[in-house]
């Protein structure tokens, strides 16, 4: 049973889990990953600036 479920998962992953175009699935995952990377980068910059402001008594 477990094997059957895993196989089904793999099949869904390959298709893009709701049977949509794999290219579309990859495009969406890519946009999501880029957004997360952008947000993390922005937070690093923001926390750096906030630290400088706090250290200078702002």
Partner 1 sequence: MSDSAYRITAEAGAAASTAGAGDFLALLKPRVMSLVVFTGLVGLLIAPGQLHPVLAVVAVLCIAIGSGAAGAINMWYDRDIDAVMTRTAHRPIPTGRIAPGEALGFGVFLAVASVAMMGLIVNWVAGGLLALAILFYVFVYTVWLKRRTPQNIVIGGAAGAFPPMIGWAAVTGSVSIESVALFALIFFWTPPHFWALSLYRCGDYQDAGVPMLPVVAGKAVTKRQMLFYTLLLIPVALAPTLLGIAGWIYGVSSIALSLGFVSAAVAVLRSESDAPAKRMFGYSLFYLATLFGLLIVDGPIGLSG
24 binds partner 1 (CB under 8 A): yes
44 binds partner 1 (CB under 8 A): no
18 binds partner 1 (CB under 8 A): yes
Residue 16 burial by Cβ neighbours in a 10 Å radius (0-12, 13-18, 19+):
middle
Q: How far is the CB of 41 from partner 1 (least distance, A)?
A: 14
Q: Which phi-psi region, left, alpha or beta, contains residue 19 (left: φ > 0; alpha: ψ -120 to 50)?
A: left
48 binds partner 1 (CB under 8 A): no
> How many residues sit close enough to partner 1 to count as binding (CB under 8 A)?
26
């Amino acid at each position: 049973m477990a094997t059957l479920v895993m196989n089904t998962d793999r099949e869904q992953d390959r298709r893009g889990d709701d049977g949509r175009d794999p290219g579309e699935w990859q495009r969406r995952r890519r946009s999501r990953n880029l957004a997360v990377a952008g947000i993390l980068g922005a937070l690093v910059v923001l926390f750096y600036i906030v630290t400088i402001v706090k250290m200078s008594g702002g």
